[in-house]
Amino acid sequence: MRIIGEIPHAVYKITVLKMNERVTIQIEDRLVSQSFVFRDGSGVKDLATAEQLLTFDFLQKVSTRFKSMNADYAEALEKINNDQFDDFDII
């Protein structure tokens, strides 16, 4: 898989990759990421067509998903950290 370019964004790191006849758009927000894979014939074949896909509406949905993912991430870490302290007797 090789990087064919990055798409500038104020909040997210957006990388476009290509392997064989597939294009992957990887969008990262801090510690979580979303990847969208497009096979040959889907219409997304290069950096320019990948950039066309990233409309305001599409990125709004990505943002909503990231909020949920970040909340799940924080909740999972909190549970792990709280469980570690449950192993000790309270003094």
10-65: pLDDT as tens digits: 999 999 999 999 999 999 998 999 999 999 999 999 999 999 999 999 999 999 99
Mean pLDDT computed over 78-83:
83
The per-residue pLDDT for 81 is 85
69, with CB counted inside 10 A (0-12, 13-18, 19+), is: middle
* Cα distance between residue 36 and residue 89, in whole Å: 47
DSSP 18-70: EETTEEEEEEEETTEEEEEEE-TTSS--SHHHHHHH--HHHHHHHHHHHHHHH
